Amino acid sequence: MYQMFQRAALLAAQTGWKDLKYYDAMYFFITIPIVFIYGIVVGSFLNVVIIRIPRGESLIKRASHCMTCGTKIRIIDLIPVFSWLFLRGKCHSCGEKISPRYPIVESLTGLLFVANFLVFGGEIFSFNLLLMCIFTALLICIGFIDWDTLEMYDIMSYLIAALAIPSHFLTDSGLTVWDRLIGAACISVPFFIIGEISGIVIKKKTGEKVRGIELGDSILMACAGLYLGWKAMIPAAFTGILLAAIFGIIIKAVKKGESKMAFGPYLCMGLLIGAMFGEEMTNSYLEFFLSSMEPDQPRNFYTSLIHLIPLR
């Protein structure tokens, strides 16, 4: 935020604008819609991914078609969000309802791209923003596919892990290799252990071969940890678990008898919040802990432990 104002001030000085506030507002008045439109266009592709990947269909071979009558969708009806609103959610050929899921995924992608844009410095041509948008897009796919099918496509998690490489060498993430490795292990390992133990317990009780936490969830957290580092992962996991608990109770109350629930969507939401605010959350938490200790206080077990954590 500070950088943003600084840059706006610099631009204002160069261009002779006296009214800084006006200039700032103009900048966002132009850039936010651009990022949003970019997001809904990407979102309409994500819809295709979410529907076709679990069915094993090609992403590019067949043109978009109505799910009921199979009619090819007209070019004019391919505009994200607006076409759905214009057609009032109905196929132009057979009149069958088109799921509101499509405009929801599209506008969600647009809004999250804008959120990334604002959180990560308000700069359009930033490599970090590009990586964060790819990360966001992958999480949307993972979350919705898991919601639909209770399955995770680990290849998408591996793509998140691959983002760690450009993030490490081409952005000023400030993360050390250790930050990333600890990030990869700190949530995924406990998740894996809980999954194994719960799997054994459930098998003994019911004979079913299911785990409390699926392997795919552990893989996702390991891959995201490589990209985000441990300071983002801890709040991400806490947020994800909290959301899963809250929504789990609600879903159980609404749909009685539903025992299986996807954990992935909540982990994805947690990861998004962790990616945007997690590092600050962890830092302020640690600062609060450190400032509450007197400097000449004798070190006990806990304070020594705190001093082991590498602080930047």
Q: Is 97 helix (H, G, I), strand (E, B) or coil?
A: strand
Report the nearest approach of Zn ion to the CB of residue 46 (Å). Answer: 22
In 3D space, the residue among 276, 245, 272 whose CA is nearest the CA of residue 261 turns out to be 245
Nearer to Zn ion, 90 or 203 (CB): 90
Count other Cβ atoms within 10 Å, centred on residue 141. Answer: 21
Report the nearest approach of Zn ion to the CB of residue 76 (Å). Answer: 15
Sign of CA dihedral 78, 80, 84, 90: positive
Report the nearest approach of Zn ion to the CB of residue 59 (Å). Answer: 21
Whole-number Å distance between alpha carbons of 252 and 237: 22
Nearer to Zn ion, 102 or 230 (CB): 102
Report the nearest approach of Zn ion to the CB of residue 186 (Å). Answer: 48
Nearer to Zn ion, 86 or 289 (CB): 86
Nearer to Zn ion, 79 or 243 (CB): 79
Instruction: Please give the residue ranges that form the binding site for Zn ion (CB under 5 A).
Output: 66, 68-69, 91, 93-94, 96
Whole-number Å distance between alpha carbons of 261 and 255: 11
* ∠ Cα 291 296 300 (to 5°): 80
The CA-based dihedral angle spanning residues 295, 176, 162, 4, taken in that order and rounded to the nearest 10 degrees: 70
Nearer to Zn ion, 37 or 66 (CB): 66
In 3D space, the residue among 222, 221, 204, 214 whose CA is nearest the CA of residue 260 turns out to be 214
Report the nearest approach of Zn ion to the CB of residue 94 (Å). Answer: 3
Report the nearest approach of Zn ion to the CB of residue 99 (Å). Answer: 12
In 3D space, the residue among 226, 250, 221, 223 whose CA is nearest the CA of residue 238 turns out to be 221
Nearer to Zn ion, 91 or 281 (CB): 91
